[in-house]
Chains A and B, each alone.
Chain A
Amino acid sequence: MKLKTLTLLSAGVLALGSWAPYAAAQDSMYMPSMTYRTGPFAGGGTPFADGYADYFNMLNERDGGINGVKIDVDECETAYNSQKGIECYEATKGNKPLAYSPLSTGITLALIPKAPVDEIPVFSMGYGLSAAADGEQFPWTFVYPASYWSQLSSILKYIDSQDGIEGKKIGFIYLDAGYGKEPIPLLDQLSESMGFEVAKFPVGVKEMQNQSSQWLNVRKERPDWMIMWGWGAMNPTAIKEAVKIRFPLDKFIGNWWAGSHADLNAVGEAGKGYLAANFSGIGQDFPAIQDVLTHVVDKGLSKVSSRDDVGNVLYNRGLFNAVILAEAVREAQAATGKSVITGADMRDGLEAINLTEARLTELGLPNFTGEVTGSCGDHEGNGPIFIQQWNGSDFERITDLIAPMTDIVRPMLEEAAATYVSDKPDWQPQACG
């Protein structure tokens, strides 16, 4: 009985110990990582989380951190569940985090109002609320290197460059959730100005692996091109269904969350020809990624299940997320003269981002992505995308960088940003002059 009591007490002490608040060391900075290595979207969340953590760990191992200060990457599992994401935020915001990358549009939307209150910037890289590109209205949120709206405009430009878009019918298949619906206002507007017809095919979250109805409708509607705003198990299912109805895969373009190795590995050779947007380089042939292999993966410090996973689409995207944050840390350190910075300093660092091709080359990522330049008013960076194509076993980049239709998209983003804040009397915008 005494032994049992002792065991229980020990377990209790251990449990309490695990809940002890994080104690930030002076020689490190806290960088939370919201991950989803579990749940229905783990196939995408896992490589992203690996790339994110491995880059920071590479900086720690190779350079001793950023300007001598190590980055402490702390994962919190959200399972792509907004409620769990908010719990992660509340549990870790006291650890002096530099920034949050929510990796979910749902979590991002919940954190946007919290960011100015807690003075911790939110960096939703290429996802989240497109309107957050307007830095004047959203001082604490960043969507580098491009918003969903900009991405859609680049995809439409690509279609237009192939065989003209005017008079064509564009099918839009999307996850019937906030993320999937996000680009629809722009799609509707551009359909009028560019003269194409749109047919929409929503896919419920519960129907991700059961899409035959949607693809029967595609067969009925006979669109000339299909665009997909999918995620997780929705993507391979959609591509398999497209093959089933003999839809030409070289006229089927996924957005940058519908074009990863995790999506196509289950499709294999049958998915040959499928297109997808991307903004981060593919493969291991970059000096920075070679350093990750040498200093992290080969030392057994990475969570990747195989060395070959390094360099795949989502791994590199997670890595790029970390590259932008690391660069913002450097900018903030340079601007403040401090080695250990705060969330507010980090916000200023993110606004000062200037990833030119020369700088990317210096970082070991030549031709990895387009240039990303932020400012007080521009939290999007006006990033271009490229199109990649599945060759049956891997993705190949097939286009140069395609710039977004900034002249059309930017006024719409500003209008959407103004609408977002219009019913929030306490909202604090910033003046950018």
Chain B
Amino acid sequence: MDVLLSVFVEPFQEMLAFPDFFLQVIWEGFVAGVLYSLIALGFVLIYKASGVFNFAQGIMVVFAALVLVSLHEMGVPAWLAVVLSLGVMALLAVGIERMVLRKLVNQHDAILLMATIGLTLILKGVGQLFFGGEPKPMITEQLGLPTGSTDLEVFGGLVILQHIDVAATVIALLMVIALAVFFSKTRIGRALRAVADDHQAALSVGISLNQIWAIVWFASGIVALVTGIMWGARSEVSFALEIIALKALAVLILGGFTSIPGAIVGGLIIGIGEKMFEVYWGALLGSGVEAWFAYVLALIFLLFRPQGLFGERIIERV
């Protein structure tokens, strides 16, 4: 009986008794969800265009952020460092297309996945060679990103909004809008969608697969840089950031591997869900449930809706 109470009654009583804290939990989950979505977005972009599950997305986040802070450490002004970092990510995209993807056209998906695992190891090694293994602080203030917080007095309590979290939300929103416009309104965007739908058909109407792949890897590099800045500001820029990308796997399973809205919605479901579960039900399971919540949720989705919320249902005839 006590167990039933603590599962079905007490958490909701607590939410009602401390609505300000409940709002804080929702806000923290929302921010985490937005940041998960950003990582997942990088995966979706590449998967949509090339069918490659880019295992290197996590290390791309670290690499982009390390390039940025290291350039600034060398005395490059912050915004110029951003531009140069984007340049490095563009070179990386072209390099990956030329040296990896072009040579693996028409190979099995598993081979492409293995290639991105190899890419992860290369980026990790190159990153450590050039930038060292030590963590570096993100140049939050130099980039003009807001610091500090605002206290909202609600329901007689306090909800604390960190300005950097608000900025992350706004930037993520702008990025999603920009990507949506890019995909639907521009010539390259339409070509990209054509490639995503059918490589052969896209080739037959004169679309350059190589060009599209380079563009999409660069777009993913931009997303990686923004993600690295935001996660780095919350903690530090270190190789440990790579691990966070694993959470994006669960987001993708929830939202679907090919859907940008899916990445957003999936991220928010996992972000808010895991915070609520940890805070209100975590103690029943010994705390630390956040470490597995997303993956269990993803597993449930795999059982009942394997294509995710927004993914395309794949029917293979044999």
Chain A interface (Cβ < 8 Å from any Cβ of B): 36-43, 45-46, 176, 200-210, 212-214, 216-217, 219-220, 232-233, 236-237, 240, 244-246, 262, 265-268, 305
Contact = CB atoms under 8 A, between A and B. Distances in A.
A210 B244 contact: yes
Interface string B109-132: 000000000000000100010001
Interface string B213-240: 0000000000000000001001110111
Contacts of B25: 216
Contact of B244 (A38, A200, A206, A268): A206
A205 B239 CA distance: 13
A188 to B, nearest CB: 14
Nearest to A266: B236
B136 interface: yes
B160 A245 contact: yes
B235 A42 contact: no
Nearest to B290: A213
A202 B132 contact: no
- Decide if the interface of chain B is mainly helix, strand, loop or mixed: helix
A52 to B, nearest CB: 16
Nearest to B141: A268
A38 B287 contact: no
A38 B128 contact: yes
Contacts of A205: 243
- Of B31, B234, B241, most A-chain CB atoms within 10 Å: B234
Given A202-B288, A266-B135, A43 B243 contact: no
Contact of B274 (A213, A219, A262): A213
A206 B244 CA distance: 6
Interface stretch (B94-102, B182-190, B275-283, B303-311): B275-283
A219 B236 contact: no
A135 to B, nearest CB: 35
B288 to A, nearest CB: 4
B149 A244 contact: yes
B134 interface: yes
B134 A262 contact: yes
A46 to B, nearest CB: 6
A433 B287 CA distance: 45
Contact of B28 (A46, A216, A305): A216
Given A212-B275, A213-B28, 16 more contacts: A40-B239, A40-B243, A202-B286, A206-B247, A209-B241, A210-B32, A212-B28, A213-B274, A216-B21, A216-B24, A216-B28, A233-B238, A240-B235, A244-B162, A266-B135, A266-B138
Contact of B291 (A41, A204, A245, A265): A204
Contact of A40 (B24, B238, B275, B282): B238
18 contacts: A38-B133, A39-B133, A42-B238, A42-B239, A176-B291, A202-B287, A204-B288, A206-B291, A208-B240, A208-B243, A209-B244, A214-B290, A217-B282, A232-B238, A232-B240, A245-B160, A266-B135, A266-B236
